[in-house]
Amino acid sequence: MEELTRLIREDMKPALGVTEPGAIAFATARAKAEIVGEVLRVDVALNSGMYKNAYTCGIPGSDAYGNLQAAALGVVAADPTKGLESLDGITDADNEAAAKMVRDGRVHVALDHMGSEITIDATVCTETDTCSVHIRGTHTHIQWIEKNGEIVFGEKTEQQEESEEAETPVIHRYTLQQILEYVKQVPTKEISFIREAFSMNIELLEEGIHSKKTTIGPMLLRANDGKIISEDARKTAQLMCNGAIEARVLGLSSPAMSITGSGAHGIIATMPLFAYYEVNYEVIDDDVLLRATALSYLITMYIKEYSGRLSAFCGCGIAAGTGMACGLGYLRGASEAQQTMIIQNMASGLTGMICDGGNQGCAMKGMVAVDAAFRSVDMAMQNVCIDAIHGINGRTPEDTMRNMGRIASPGMVKTEEVIVDIMKNK
């Protein structure tokens, strides 16, 4: 299996609801699984990106929002063996039990520090035991577990010592040219697993369209002549993409296929491409769709490895939006030079869009990203782009993507402080 294929396969994961509440619930559930007795107290400390992203987002199977309810549900009913789908199957009784824990003051969630790298420290206490789960780097990567003062899993460390080569993300060892060569040459059978993302995200979209909670999905359906697939590729893409995003952030029961730890990233990176394919299926083969999606995923990863998994800029719109734009370009036969133009156009238009957590506004940001992607590709196919000399565009596409990521981290750390402060005090 190609290294880049393995990278995609390992990164694609089903995620129920917004990823951050799922990760919080997973952490507290995992801690609860190590101990016995009635839970007396739950304490969770988060980096700013985790804290912000879960702050006002919907929780699957619940009408409640946010960090406290997610942490409480983790110890009440979540199944840690399901990872990011740990909240699957919670009941009204579970929700009430979790809400009572919150009302009784037994659940505490704190902003530990400003930073884009994921950290979750979840401690659960009973009369006899105390267990802490420490997650680092990705949403479900447990670095160590400490029970009653002893390490029972992993190794307690804040900074792993790694070789210089190991510290370089795999995706950054490739150029755009090499990524495009891989996309063109990889056997279709090797990337056929990507199809699962389309089917999973379509199920989420359909739940959103028929839900009483949603407003944006039904509006986009009306705008698309009441059809999920019309003859208008852009309107179909807007519906498929942002109807699914709204369903996800409002906490409906179907999972999304995530990429780079985010369901919304996964939706944006795939659904507009699937929409374009469905509208133009007579002239686009299925294997071309798979290759375009692989490209979309890899470009998304490339930018995200610079920005950090959770930051003050909207990685969904900027990173996944740029990946999706490159995928659209591939579906339309863009050359390598035109792919570079697409990246430059997206960098010039979207970079700087803020992230104010997982919430219904993500669908609005997704609509902007889809429009920008279609426009950027239209321009590039006519060999029109924002030249490399302007703005943050770099001399190479790799430089441009690095610059996009740097705007988020370290560039927008202070911005994140302001965003969190606004959210906490509004």
pLDDT tens by residue, 41-71 = 999 999 999 999 999 888 888 888 889 999 9
Please give the average per-residue pLDDT across 145-156, as a whole number. Answer: 94
CA angle 203, 304, 88 (to 5 degrees): 35
- pLDDT in the model for residue 161: 43
Round to whole Å and give the CA distance between 98 and 274.
Answer: 39
Round to whole Å and give the CA distance between 191 and 193.
Answer: 5
pLDDT at 166 over 70: no
pLDDT at 15 over 80: yes
Cis, peptide link before residue 410, omega less than 30° from 0: yes
Pairing type for strands 41-47 and 107-113 reads parallel
**Residue of 72, 47, 49 lying closest to 59 (CA atoms):** 72
Strand partners, 41: 125
Phi, psi of 18 (to 5 degrees): -65, 140
- pLDDT in the model for residue 117: 87
pLDDT at 1 over 80: no
Identity of the amino acid at 11? D
Note if the pTM is more than 0.75. Answer: yes
Please give the average per-residue pLDDT across 347-365, as a whole number. Answer: 94
Please give the average per-residue pLDDT across 390-416, as a whole number. Answer: 94
Give the tens place of pLDDT for each residue, 174-233.
999 999 999 999 999 999 999 999 999 999 999 999 999 999 999 999 999 999 999 999
The domain spans of the chain are: 13-154, 166-425
Both tokens of residue 412?
């927008």
CA angle 308, 20, 118 (to 5 degrees): 35
- pLDDT in the model for residue 424: 87
Give the tens place of pLDDT for each residue, 232-274.
999 999 999 999 999 999 989 899 999 998 999 999 999 999 9
CATH class of 166-425: mainly alpha
pLDDT at 300 over 80: yes
Both tokens of residue 405?
């990521």
CATH class of 13-154: alpha beta
- pLDDT in the model for residue 159: 52
